[in-house]
Amino acid sequence: MKSLSTLVQAVPGSPTTLMMQKGRELKAAGKDVINLAGGEPDFDTPKHIQEAGFAAIRNGDTHYPPSFGTPALLEAIAAKLARENNVHVTPDQIMVTPGGKWAIYATLAALLDPGDEVMILDPAWVSYAPMVQLNRGVPVHVALPAETNFYVTEAQLREYVTEKTKALMACSPNNPTGRVLQRDEIDAICAVAKEFDLYVLSDEIYEHILYDGHVHHSLAAEPGMAERTIIINGFSKAYAMTGWRLGWLAAPKPVAKLARTYQTQSITSAASFAMAAGVAALNGPQDCVKEMTASYTVRRNYLLDALDEIPGIESSPIEGAFYLFARFTNTDKDSLTISNVLLEEGLIASTPGIAFGKAGEGYVRFSFAERMTDLEKTVERLARIVPSL
Ligand SMILES: Cc1ncc(COP(=O)(O)O)c(C=O)c1O
């Protein structure tokens, strides 16, 4: 047989999926596994959004929809951007995708030539680097320092810019660290992007999940950034719609145009009835988003207080999203070993920090969008295991 793609063979599978799989296997074998490796709300999609999806199917909205998104959804997204983010775009700058992940992938396809470099601010979501590689680009890992809680500075960004740098990827609120970019970090990113003429992929998928008064600012709303920023967003996290596979991008016109070409020749479109549900999500009442965030806040506060009592584990401050990114301070074991020990001895499935880049070594990520009883059990088990790690 002829050999298979070297490009795809060079890309690792998602470590989060692997850990979740391990957890599922143990569960199937009858073990009381707590699965905190994933990243999805434990809520079902709010009823009024579900109903809009059912109604669309009943009304025959089961045919191929417009490839880039239905007019109603494109308009709802444009209105949301103006209302919530102070970003002003026309519907032709938007593309609806099957999940935010595909919005990132299609953006990279539109931006990159082989060998183009993309700066990734580590610790970063596990899929950024492989998606750059799959688009024949080169991921450049900007290791943000743990000592400053992964604070972004202009000086550090400059160190990694070369003449091949095409784009920078930023995520705020951040998966995995829980950080929300502050004003001077936003200024640093914008200054470097403008000076070196870089595109910026601004992943804002956790924008509504914020704690302690933290505020989300879209990078596209900053002066001089609209023409170089691609907003990535979606319905999975804010509206608990992971299974509907619905996301979107908003980009400068030339980028949106190429991303749209790419979409027509690849996955065609998101699902028709999912788009109808998306309209209900954006145009309907937003209480559900507030209620879910209030519930994450209770769980976050519980975990922060509980971990304070356990020697050997320290949580990063959690400003947004629903992850606890914890550092293990009384062991030399690497994060993969720690994650495995937690699974084998504590039946807790987590994601090792190294999965998010070298800057994440020493940390383990736990999703807390899970039942409170599971979080309580997690704390009990950590209290037993961590001191003797
Ligand atoms: C940072 C980040 N961006 C994008 C996504 C994509 O989500 P989806 O494809 O479900 O919209 C995720 C999902 O985990 C994520 O954590």
For the chain, what is the HEC assignment? CCCCCHHHHCCCCCHHHHHHHHHHHHHHCCCCCEECCCCCCCCCCCHHHHHHHHHHHHCCCCCCCCCCCCHHHHHHHHHHHHHHHCCCCCHHHEEEECCHHHHHHHHHHHHCCCCCEEEEEECCCCCHHHHHHHCCCEEEEEECCHHHCCCCCHHHHHHHCCCCEEEEEEECCCCCCCCCCCHHHHHHHHHHHHHCCCEEEEECCCCCCECCCCCCCCHHHCCCCCCCEEEEEECCCCCCCHHHCCEEEECCHHHHHHHHHHHHCCCCCCCHHHHHHHHHHHHCCCHHHHHHHHHHHHHHHHHHHHHHCCCCEEECCCCECCEEEEEECCCCCCHHHHHHHHHHHHCEECEEHHHHCHHHCCEEEEECCCCHHHHHHHHHHHHHHHHHC
Q: Is 171 in the pocket of ligand 1 (CB under 6 A)?
A: yes
CA 388–ligand 1 middle distance (angstroms)? 35
Residue 1, number of CB atoms within 10 A of its CB: 3
Mutate to test the pocket of ligand 1, among 105, 205, 230, 232 (most ligand atoms within 8 A of CB): 205
Q: Is 39 in the pocket of ligand 1 (CB under 6 A)?
A: yes
For 194-229, what is each residue's pLDDT tens digit?
Answer: 999 999 999 999 999 999 999 999 999 999 999 999
Q: Which segments of the chain have a pLDDT < 70?
A: none
* CB neighbour class for 268 (10 Å; exposed up to 12, middle 13-18, buried from 19): exposed
pLDDT at 360: 95
Q: Is 203 in the pocket of ligand 1 (CB under 6 A)?
A: yes
What is the dotted CATH code of the domain comprising 62-283? 3.40.640.10
Q: Is 175 in the pocket of ligand 1 (CB under 6 A)?
A: yes
Q: Please give the number of the atom of ligand 1 that sits closest to the Cα of 246.
A: 11
CA 235–ligand 1 middle distance (angstroms)? 9
- Locate 117 and state its tokens: 């470099």
Q: Is 236 in the pocket of ligand 1 (CB under 6 A)?
A: yes
Report in angstroms the alpha-carbon separations of 39 from 42, 103, 179, 366, 367.
9, 18, 16, 9, 6
What is the dotted CATH code of the domain comprising 6-45+287-388? 3.90.1150.10
CA 62–ligand 1 middle distance (angstroms)? 26
CA neighbours closer than 13 Å in the CB half-sphere of residue 202: 30
CA 363–ligand 1 middle distance (angstroms)? 20
* Whether 329 contacts 312, CB under 8 Å: yes
Nearest CA owner, ligand 1 atom 7: 100
CA 205–ligand 1 middle distance (angstroms)? 7
CA 100–ligand 1 middle distance (angstroms)? 6
Q: Is 278 in the pocket of ligand 1 (CB under 6 A)?
A: no
Angle at 351 between CA 356 and CA 138, to 5 degrees: 25
Q: Is 242 in the pocket of ligand 1 (CB under 6 A)?
A: yes
Q: Is 247 in the pocket of ligand 1 (CB under 6 A)?
A: yes
pLDDT at 25: 87
Mutate to test the pocket of ligand 1, among 20, 132, 175 (most ligand atoms within 8 A of CB): 175
Q: Is 125 in the pocket of ligand 1 (CB under 6 A)?
A: yes
Q: Please give the number of the atom of ligand 1 that sits closest to the Cα of 16.
A: 14
CA 312–ligand 1 middle distance (angstroms)? 30
User: What is the pTM (predicted TM-score) of this model?
Assistant: 0.96
Q: Is 100 in the pocket of ligand 1 (CB under 6 A)?
A: yes
Q: Is 365 in the pocket of ligand 1 (CB under 6 A)?
A: no
CA 367–ligand 1 middle distance (angstroms)? 13
Q: Is 41 in the pocket of ligand 1 (CB under 6 A)?
A: no
Mutate to test the pocket of ligand 1, among 236, 245, 267 (most ligand atoms within 8 A of CB): 236
Q: Is 312 in the pocket of ligand 1 (CB under 6 A)?
A: no
- Domain ranges (residues) in the chain: 6-45+287-388, 62-283
